[in-house]
Structure 1
Amino acid sequence: MSISNENTAAHRLHTLLQSVRNSGESSLGAAWCKVLDAEWNSGDFVRRHAEVTVLLQMTIRQISSLPERSRLRYERHVADWWGAVMQPLHNWNDGTRAPAIMFNEDKLDHLESAADLISGHLVGSGAAPRATNLEEMSRQCNEWVDLLTAMEDSEINGPVRDALVSQIRHLIWLIENSDLFGTARVAEEASAVIGSLTQAGATLVNVEPGNASRWKKAFLGLIAACVVFNQAAPVFQGAITAGESLVKEISAVAEHISPDGE
C-alpha cells in the first residue's frame, strides 16, 4: 500500500488550478476542457467541474479546523480561489482572458501552502488519508451494488435502495477518477455512503437471512476498508501489511454473525 503526502482536497484543487493556468490554452473553457478531459458544455464536463467546486468547499471547511492564526491567514485568499473556480459565463470562451493571466500564481502558492498545513494537521483522517490504494474499497462498493440490486422491495424501501445504489456508484466513479479529484474526495464520499447505509440499515424489515448476513459483512468490510485507507501506517511496512489484512479478518468474523444477531 503506497503512502500519499499530497493527500488533501486543497492539494488536488491546487493541482487542477495550476494545470489550468499552465495549459497553454487561450480561453478558460478550453483550458478546463483539457484538464478535465471533457467536452465543453457536456454532461461529463458539468459533472467533473462540479467535483472541483466540492474540492473548494472541502478546502474552505478544513481551513476552519486550523489554529486561529493560520485560519485567519488563509481565509483571506478564499475569495481568490473561488474566483479561479467560478467565473462568469462570458469569461469561459473569451480568448482575451487566458488562464495564465487570470490565475494569480501567488494566490495558488498560498493554496498549496494551506494544503500542506491541512495535511499535517489532519493526517490520518478522511480529510488527509495516508494511503492511495483504493482496490479494496472499490471491491467493497461493487459488492454493495450487487447486494442492494438483489434485495426485494419487501426487504428495503425501493427509493431508499435506488438512492443508495446511485450514491455508491458515484463513489465508484470517484475511485475510478481519483487521479483527477484525489483520494480525500473519495474518503469524503465514502464517509457519506457509510452514513447513508447506517440509516438505511436501521429501517430494514423482513430481510432474507442470507441478505441480512451479507449486509452485516459488507457493512463491516466497507468500514474496515475506509479505516485502512485513511490510517495506513506511514512508516512501518509491517503495519501496512497488517492493515491490508484487516478487511479480510473483519469479513471473516462477520461471516459467523447470524441474521438474528445471535
Structure 2
Amino acid sequence: MGISNENTAAHHLHTLLKSVRDSGEQTLRGAWCKVLDADMDSSEFARRHSEVVMLLQMTIRQLNSLPERSRLRCERYVADWWTVVVQPIHNWGDHTRTPQSLFPQDKLDHLESAADLISGNLIGSGAAPRSADLDEMAMRCNEWIDLLTAMSDAEIDGPVRDALISQVRHLLWLIENATMFGGARVAEEASTVIGSLTQASATLANVQPNHASRWKKMLLGLIAACVVFNQAAPVLQGSITAGEELVKEITAVANDFGSDE
C-alpha cells in the first residue's frame, strides 16, 4: 500500500461535511449556504451541492478498490454518509436540529478512515492525485475552448461542438473550485473530457489542416497534463507516444463502425 495523501474525493467530502457540522449555524440550510458560499435558492447552490453528491458517488465506487475486509467494513457506513449529505428526513430549515446534532462524529470518522484507505490503495491515480498544481490543465482547457469555438459546423457537428465546450468549461470550473471539491474530482472530469474529445475526433469532417493539427497536438497535451497531475512527475516521451497510439486506435475503431452502416 502506498503512502496516503489527502487529495481524494472521500477526503474532500469529509472536509465539507465537517465544515457544515462545525459551521456554528443553527440550521442545516444556513450551514450548507455558508460552506458552499452560495444562496440556497440559486442555481449555483444546486451546482455546488450536486458536486458534493458526486464526491459521495466517487467514494462509494472507489471502495471497490479496497481489500475485501476493508471494503465490507467501510460499506456499512455508506447509507449513513448519504443521509448526512442529503438529510431526507429532516427539514433543512429546522432550528431545533443543528448541523452538529445531525452529523454524528463517529460517522465522519469512519468516512475519513475510508478516505485514507482509498488513498493508500490508489495514490498516483486519478482517484488520489499526487499533485495540486492545476495551472497546466487550466491552460489546456482554455486552448480547447478557443479551438472548438473557432471550428465551423462544416468541420464538426454543432451540437457535438457545443457539448464539448460545455464539458471543458465545467472542467475549468472544477479547477477553479479545486480547493472545495478536490483534485480527484478534477482528474475524473478530465478523463471524461479526454474520452469525449477522442470520440469526437472520429466524427470530424472537412477539417481545416491547422485545426486538425491543433486537435491532435492539444489532445496529447491534455493527456500529458493529466498524467503529470496524477503522478506529480515529468511526463515521459513514452507516455506521449502511447497516448498518440491510443488516439489512432480509437479513431480507427470508430471509423470501422461508421463504414459498416
Same-fold call, TM cutoff 0.5: yes
How far apart are the structure 2 equivalents of 1:138 and 1:89?
Answer: 40
> Match of 2:188, SS?
helix
Name whichever of 89-98 and 54-63 sits farther off: 89-98
How far apart are the structure 1 equivalents of 2:90 and 2:184?
Answer: 32
How far apart are the structure 2 equivalents of 1:91 and 1:124?
Answer: 40
RMSD: 1.9
Deviations 1:135-164 (A, max 9, x none): 000000000000000000000000000000
Name the CA shift for 1:89/1:44 in 2 (closer, same or farther; >3 Å): farther
In the other structure, the counterpart of 1:47 is 47
In the other structure, the counterpart of 1:236 is none
Q: Does 1:160 align with 2:186?
A: no
Q: TM-score, normalised by structure 1?
A: 0.88
Residue 5 of structure 2 contacts residue 120 of structure 2 at CA under 8 Å; is this kept in 1? Answer: no
How far apart are the structure 2 equivalents of 1:56 and 1:146?
Answer: 33
Residue 80 of structure 2 contacts residue 107 of structure 2 at CA under 8 Å; is this kept in 1? Answer: yes
Q: Does 1:121 align with 2:121?
A: yes
Amino acid paired to 1:27:
T
Per the TM alignment, residue 67 of structure 1 is displaced from its structure 2 partner at its CA by: 0.8
In the other structure, the counterpart of 1:235 is none
Within-5 A mapping of 1:229-248: 229-232=229-232, 240=233, 242-243=234-235
- Give the 4+ runs in structure 1 shifted more than 2 A: none
> Match of 2:45, SS?
helix
Amino acid paired to 1:61:
R
In the other structure, the counterpart of 2:213 is 213
How far apart are the structure 2 equivalents of 1:98 and 1:51?
Answer: 23
* Matched residue count: 239
> Match of 1:96, SS?
coil
How far apart are the structure 2 equivalents of 1:167 and 1:92?
Answer: 31
Amino acid paired to 2:42:
S
How far apart are the structure 1 equivalents of 2:209 and 2:88?
Answer: 55
Residue 131 of structure 2 contacts residue 230 of structure 2 at CA under 8 Å; is this kept in 1? Answer: yes
Q: TM-score, normalised by structure 2?
A: 0.88
| Unpaired segments ≥5 residues, structure 2 | 245-261
Using the aligned pairs only, state the percent identity.
Answer: 72
How far apart are the structure 2 equivalents of 1:54 and 1:11?
Answer: 13
In the other structure, the counterpart of 2:22 is 22
Deviations 1:228-259 (A, max 9, x none): 00011xxxxxxx4x44xx69x969xx9xxxxx
Per the TM alignment, residue 89 of structure 1 is displaced from its structure 2 partner at its CA by: 7.7
> Match of 2:56, SS?
helix
Name the CA shift for 1:89/1:206 in 2 (closer, same or farther; >3 Å): farther
How far apart are the structure 2 equivalents of 1:190 and 1:73?
Answer: 31
Amino acid paired to 1:12:
H
Per the TM alignment, residue 5 of structure 1 is displaced from its structure 2 partner at its CA by: 1.8
> Match of 1:92, SS?
coil
In the other structure, the counterpart of 1:257 is none
How far apart are the structure 1 equivalents of 2:210 and 2:89?
Answer: 53
Per the TM alignment, residue 88 of structure 1 is displaced from its structure 2 partner at its CA by: 3.0
In the other structure, the counterpart of 1:59 is 59
In the other structure, the counterpart of 2:256 is none
Name the CA shift for 1:89/1:167 in 2 (closer, same or farther; >3 Å): farther
In the other structure, the counterpart of 1:75 is 75
How far apart are the structure 2 equivalents of 1:59 and 1:48?
Answer: 17
How far apart are the structure 1 equivalents of 2:66 and 2:164?
Answer: 33
Residue 23 of structure 2 contacts residue 34 of structure 2 at CA under 8 Å; is this kept in 1? Answer: yes
Amino acid paired to 1:65:
S
